[in-house]
Amino acid sequence: MTSTITHHTLSRRQFSVGDLQFDALIGGEGPLVMLLHGFPESGRSWHAQVQALAEAGYRAVAPDLRGYGGSSKPPRVEDYALMRSVGDVVGIADALGADRFTVVGHDWGGGLAWHAALAVPERVAAVFVLGIPFTPRSPTPPDPTFAAIPRETFFYIRYFQEIGRAERELDRDLKYSLKTLYWAASGDAPLGQWQVPKQGDAGILDGQSPPTGDLAWLSDADLAACVATFEHAGFGPPLNWFRNLLRNWQETERFAGESVRQPTGFVVGEKDVSLLLLRDAIETMPAKVPDLRVNLILPGVGHWTQQEAATKVNATLLDFLDSVGPP
C-alpha cells in the first residue's frame, strides 16, 4: 500500500464478542490487519508492528487473546480450545466492520492464524506467521502425555498439562518468571537454553536464571508492563491453551487434508526453538502452502521474533502486504 507516512497515536479499545470482552491495542485507518500474540505475552508485544502498520495506511489491531491481559478469562479449560479463539478473531473483525482482513500470528497466535485461514477463507485475505509453520492435521490424535518422551526427561508442554503445578511455580514471582522465560527462548541465550536437560519432575524455571540487567530487546520498563498484564489472573488461563491438544485435534476434523491457499508469509528466528523442533515441517511447508511468498530465517533471532527483530519484521510484513494488495 502506497501512502503518506504520518505518526499515529495508538490507543486501547474494548470489543465485545458474545459474552466475552477483548482489550486491544489499535492504530491507523485502512485495511484491517489483526495481530495475534503467543505465550506468555499480550497484544502489547506487537506495539512496534501496530505503529508501523498505522503509519503505512493500515488499521492494525492487536488484541489480548482470551485468558490474557485486559481480556476475559473464562473459567473452564475447554474454553481455551483453538476454534473458540477463531470465533473471537472473526468477532473482533465484525465489530470493526471488516469483511476481509489479514491475520498475523506468533507462537500460539500463529496456530490461531493458520486455523482462521482454514476456517473462514472467505474472510481471511492473507496470512503472515512468525515461528510456527503450517502443519496439516495429523491423521492420528496427539498424545497429551507425550508417552514417547521418557518420564525421567523434562518436557515443558507435558509439564503444562497438570493443572495447578505450573501456575504455582510461575505465579510465585511474575517478574522473575517472565524475564527468565523471555531470556531463555531469546536469541541472546545460549542455544538450547529453553530446553536445558533436567529431570522429569523439575519445574520449567529449574536450571534457569535471567540476566541481571535489561534484556537487549526488552527494557525493564517494558518488562514491568508485561508483568502488569499477568497480575490479575496469573499464568493459569494462558496455560489452558496448552491443555486442549486433543480437543483441538477433534474439533478440526473438517480441515483434514486442507492447505492454506491465501497469500502467505512465514518468518522464523535462526535460534527459535520452533526451528529446532519443527525443522521438517518448516522445510516441507512450501509444498503445503501453495502461495508462500515469504519464507525467511532471521540470523541470530530467537523466539520473540517481532520484538527481537522489530525493524526487519516490520519491513518484511509491509513488503508482503504490498505484494498482496487490497483485500
User: Which residue of the set 107, 115, 188, 272 is catalytic?
Assistant: 107
Q: Minimal CA–CA distance to 13: which of 79, 92, 84, 89? A: 92
| Element (DSSP H or E) covering residue 20 | strand 20-27
State the Cα–Cα distance between residues 237 and 218, nearest whole angstrom.
24
Instruction: Match 485507518 to its residue by C-alpha cell.
Output: 29
Give the HSE-up count for residue 177: Cα atoms under 13 Å, Cβ half-sphere.
Answer: 21
Strand partners, 61: 26, 34
Q: Is 37 a catalytic residue?
A: no
For residue 89, give the C-alpha cell. 478473531
| Element (DSSP H or E) covering residue 265 | strand 264-269
User: Which residue of the set 37, 47, 106, 303 is catalytic?
Assistant: 303
Q: Minimal CA–CA distance to 123: which of 85, 81, 92, 93? A: 93
Handedness of CA 283, 288, 289, 291 (dihedral sign): positive
Q: Is 272 a catalytic residue?
A: no
State the Cα–Cα distance between residues 143 and 284, nearest whole angstrom.
23
Catalytic positions, written as ranges: 107, 303
